[in-house]
Structure 1
Amino acid sequence: MGVAVVGYGNAGRQHAQALADTPEAYVAAVVDADPRAAAAARDAGLPVRGLEEALADERVRALALCLPPGARAETAERAVAAGRHLLLEKPPARSAAELDRLLARTAAGDVLAGVMFQHRFALPEPLRRLPPQRFAGAVATLTVSRARPDAHYRQAGWRSDPRDALGGVTAHLGVHYLDLACQLLGAPVSVTPLARADAAPGIDAQLCGHVLFASGARLSVAVTSRSPARVERLTVLGADAWVEVRSGAVTGELAGTPVSGEARPAERLRAEVYAELARAAAGRAPLELAALGRARPVMAILDGLLRGEAR
């Protein structure tokens, strides 16, 4: 499956590496108007094309949108109109409402839509298809600390503009484990931001909040870029089950049965996302774990934590 990688920044390079590690797919084109990014792609031996040229190439079956969140919607619509499948970098949209519009268009256009939430593929098989009521009434905690100087979010460009970036540490670093919480706990019904500190207007560097899920499960959230510690931990404690995901490693117990999974490199997990998309595009298996529709709950949480608009 040929893929056009749209945007060759940090995320775009990660996608290109994942495609290099996926036998079922390859980089058919890199699309980036920035001369420096285009030169870097050529230096890596990748073909650089304009968007229209990539969309006209029948070998391009899918577009990987590695643009900032605020720059994706129009390109996604053009891809769907051209009948191309989509894989969106996280966070996949600026809001749950924007995500819903995109899902409606991809369904109407009969194209596949996935998202690069690769940590879903770190969950052991017993945890991948849990019914939302499995952790009914559970209490959960999420802590993510990834050091970034405030200047990282104040630099010129999209990272300092909430219209393009959506947010800071929560939307771009905490979002992976927030998504994992949704895979285990289901859909939120209320989100309460409790405390926040911004590195730039509308760009959070530290955030605490609370999420209530339809199952009755409750999640306490703490995300920061202002600590030197590197921590990624999600703990879910239910009546007869518990799960902890810590730095990619999974341990837990479901009704007395142990579950576990070793931490695996992010690049390997990204390749698994592409492998699932390629199999789905070939009609060999459904797009399941990487499906964009499964991101709706985490987008609702971001709406609530960042803008107080959960629904």
Structure 2
Amino acid sequence: MGERKAGVSGPDSGRSEATGIAVVGYGNAGRQHVDALAGAAGAYAAAVVETDPTAASRARGAGLTVRALDEVLADDAVRALALCLPPGARTDVARAAVAAGKHLLLEKPPARTAEELAGLLSLADDGEVLAAVMFQHRFALPEPLRAIEPERFAGAVASLTVSRARSDAHYRQAGWRSDPRHALGGVTAHLGVHYLDLACQLLGTPRAVTPLSRTDAAPGIDTQLCGHIAFESGAQLSVAITSRSVARAEQLTVLGADAWLEVRSGAVTGEIDGRPIEGRTRPASVLRTEVYQEFSGAVAGRTTLGLAALSRSRGVVEALDGLLSGHAPAARTAGAAR
């Protein structure tokens, strides 16, 4: 049999019952989204929206249909848009999508500030559409940890270490990666953010964020960062993220009075109330497909939006903003989404 191209389904694939999703942007993230959609039972890549000629040609070479944004917004067969654009270039597209009644899935990081995130959530709510985010590592958490209350780790001490080698030239190259208005930041916003999000899923929302040291490849584009986060739950997290080491490491350790957890390179071990917690490492591509299966199921009304919900991102957005810009977390009322 011939190899099936990424994102292309066969004639008997049941597309009439699947959720058509247009992927906006066909860079590294866009290609990952298309690959994830190829494995999702309830969704398919209906089109790619790409204005760069080279990227558009690459998409066509992969067997994908390239269309203009206004075309997919007017197409009833397209139920949702996956926004794989730089963080600083999403708001206008998101507004247009919601105005057209399209559901949204945002690539990480989902917003630059808590205010921007609140605006996106309000926009989706007013437009009665779903809003999700591609934080696929949430799906690596075993079931007992997916809805755990942050108070479970009240007073815990925790550490986060992420090392992913990247040259300074990677961040200085022409384009959006070297512009903090579009990129938001460097290694912390684009590589460290996944485990920072896991920390917030487990420990809750930040009460205080303190950046301690930082090295930049270009103004506003960090390649190494250390900081500290105090959570409303009473947990304390030390943060070290770097692209300046040859080592590849991703590790989150949480040590509570009667519970502990370690997430290392996707594998989860720990103990809560004397019960062992374990989860094996699964490829990021598989986890991305699980995000799409939850999202497409919610769009079709078969399931509800849970782990992938954009509303669960307030903690990580505030943590990022505090570490990168020094902004204090916003005051919140009791019971606010974590």
- Partner SS state of residue 212, structure 2: strand
- Partner SS state of residue 235, structure 1: strand
Q: Deviations 1:9-68 (Å, cap 9, x if unpaired)?
A: 000000000000001000001001000111011000000000000111111000000000
Could you tell me which residue of structure 2 aligns to residue 227 of structure 1? 245
Could you tell me which residue of structure 2 aligns to residue 72 of structure 1? 90
Segments of 5+ residues of structure 2 without an aligned counterpart are 1-18, 330-338
The answer on 1:53 being equivalent to 2:79 is no
Counterpart among 282, 298, 304 of residue 280 in structure 1: 298
Counterpart among 3, 8, 17 of residue 35 in structure 2: 17
- Partner SS state of residue 285, structure 1: coil
Superposition map of 1:1-311 within 5 A: 1-311=19-329
Q: How far apart in 2 are the matches of 1:84 and 1:239?
A: 45
Q: Deviations 1:49-103 (Å, cap 9, x if unpaired)?
A: 0000011111100000000000001101110111100000000112111111000
Q: Deviations 1:158-213 (Å, cap 9, x if unpaired)?
A: 00000000000000000000000001000001000000000100000000000000
Could you tell me which residue of structure 1 aligns to residue 4 of structure 2? none
TM-score computed with the length of structure 2 as normaliser = 0.92
- Partner SS state of residue 307, structure 2: coil
User: Could you tell me how far 1:285 is from its partner in structure 2?
Assistant: 1.4
Q: How far apart in 2 are the matches of 1:96 and 1:260?
A: 33
User: Could you tell me how far 1:296 is from its partner in structure 2?
Assistant: 0.8
Q: CA RMSD in A?
A: 0.5
Q: How far apart in 1 are the matches of 2:187 and 2:68?
A: 32
Q: How far apart in 1 are the matches of 2:83 and 2:70?
A: 15
Q: How far apart in 2 are the matches of 1:10 and 1:134?
A: 37
Q: How far apart in 2 are the matches of 1:28 and 1:285?
A: 21
Q: How far apart in 2 are the matches of 1:156 and 1:146?
A: 21
User: Could you tell me how far 1:284 is from its partner in structure 2?
Assistant: 1.5
Q: Deviations 1:211-232 (Å, cap 9, x if unpaired)?
A: 0000100000000000000000
Q: How far apart in 2 are the matches of 1:247 and 1:197?
A: 24
For residue 293 of structure 1, what is the amino acid of its counterpart? S
Segments of 5+ residues of structure 1 without an aligned counterpart are none
Q: How far apart in 2 are the matches of 1:233 and 1:305?
A: 18
The alignment covers a number of residue pairs equal to 311
Q: How far apart in 2 are the matches of 1:205 and 1:95?
A: 20
For residue 76 of structure 1, what is the amino acid of its counterpart? A
- Partner SS state of residue 238, structure 2: strand
Q: How far apart in 2 are the matches of 1:285 and 1:43?
A: 34
Could you tell me which residue of structure 1 aligns to residue 11 of structure 2? none
User: Could you tell me how far 1:310 is from its partner in structure 2?
Assistant: 2.6
User: Could you tell me how far 1:268 is from its partner in structure 2?
Assistant: 0.3
